[in-house]
Structure 1
Amino acid sequence: MDSRTAQEEHAAAELIVSAAAVVREGRLLVVSKTAARGLFYLPGGKPEPGESLRAALDRELREELGVAPRSVTPLTEIRGTAALEGVPMRMTVFRATLDGQPEPGAEIAALRWTDGTDGPGLNLAPAVRNHVLPLVL
């Protein structure tokens, strides 16, 4: 018999994500993944077991975009439903600057810089559209 509480089961099912809000010249960096090419997210990802949120962000930026973060400061934490997985999500967002020019790598299909007014052709994940853009732009 499983002895976990309902709260522990919920926490175990929650997707933990570390993400970067990178702004240059009034535009936010967003990426799409090969698994969902039409949906744009913040760069970042899930920490590996025992990895801190900050270490996960550093690793993901190197893997996905081929750049290292130069400065990183906590910005916000967002709780919601993960756009792709459809499960509860807790995303810690860091404001970051990058050491170099980001280029798509790993599972990244494309990257763009947006001010949120790109029109209907840009499908932003709800957490980016509703929470991050209003904070950073």
Structure 2
Amino acid sequence: MVADDVMQVVAAAIVEQERLLLVSKNIAPEVFYLPGGKPEDGESAEQTLVRELNEELGVSPFDMNLLGHVDDVAVLEGVPMRLTVFAAQIDGPPSPAAELATLGWTDGRDSYIPRLAPTIRNQVLPLLARSGVFGPSSPG
């Protein structure tokens, strides 16, 4: 059970051609995250991901597989956060909309890595590597 004062966030690890999709927000364009967002009342994690990816990137996710949960502090809000991470595919090319500033793709060894939100860099990338979803040394 997660405490009521913990911010819930759902994110998608989308890997294409051995590169992971990253996004940044208009309020902090120098910091990159996985795409996703906060659930609305009554939404499941999967429903949140479908809504957020449609709103922010104009795509629909499919083949969503829960990878795990990460507990940390949200970098922008400075509050406790539980991040639920899914591996997912998308149905077309993403294009940033809504509150997103830009998107990018990382191979895990490039200039995006120091610009990742600490939770993504320190906890989510190792989770993705352990799961075999993504990592500089993952088989290709």
TM more than 0.5: yes
1:36 match? 28
The one-letter amino acid of 1:54's match is E
Residues 60 and 24 (structure 1 numbering): CA distance in 2 closer, same or farther, change over 3 Å? same
Task: Please state if 1:16 is matched with 2:8.
Answer: yes
Show the 5 A alignment for 1:1-137.
Answer: 11-119=3-111, 122-134=114-126, 135=128, 136-137=134-135
Structure 2 SS opposite 1:128: helix
What code does the residue aligned with 1:130 have?
A: N
Instruction: Give the alignment's TM-score, normalised by structure 1.
Output: 0.88
TM-superposed deviation, 1:46: 0.3
Code of the aligned partner of 1:76? G
Aligned partner of residue 129 in structure 1, secondary structure: helix
Structure 2: tracts of 5 or more residues without a match: 129-133, 136-140
Deviation (angstroms), 1:122: 4.8
How has the CA–CA distance of structure 1 residues 75 and 121 changed in structure 2, closer, same or farther, with 3 Å as cutoff?
closer
Q: Partner of 1:79: helix, strand, or coil?
A: strand
Paired with 1:58 and 1:109, the residues of 2 have a C-alpha distance of 20
State the Cα distance separating 1:81 from its structure 2 match.
Answer: 0.4
Question: CA shift at 1:120, angstroms?
Answer: 7.0
Measure how far apart 1:19 and its partner are. 0.4
CA shift, 1:132, in A, is 2.2
Check the 8 A contact 2:113/2:121 in 1, yes or no.
Answer: no
Tell me how far apart the structure 2 counterparts of residues 30 and 72 of structure 1 sit (CA, whole Å): 17
Identity of aligned residues (%): 54
Q: Are the structure 2 counterparts of residues 100 and 64 from structure 1 closer, same or farther at C-alpha, using a change threshold of 3 Å? A: same
- Structure 1 gaps of 5+ residues are 1-6
Q: Which has the larger radius of gyration?
A: 1
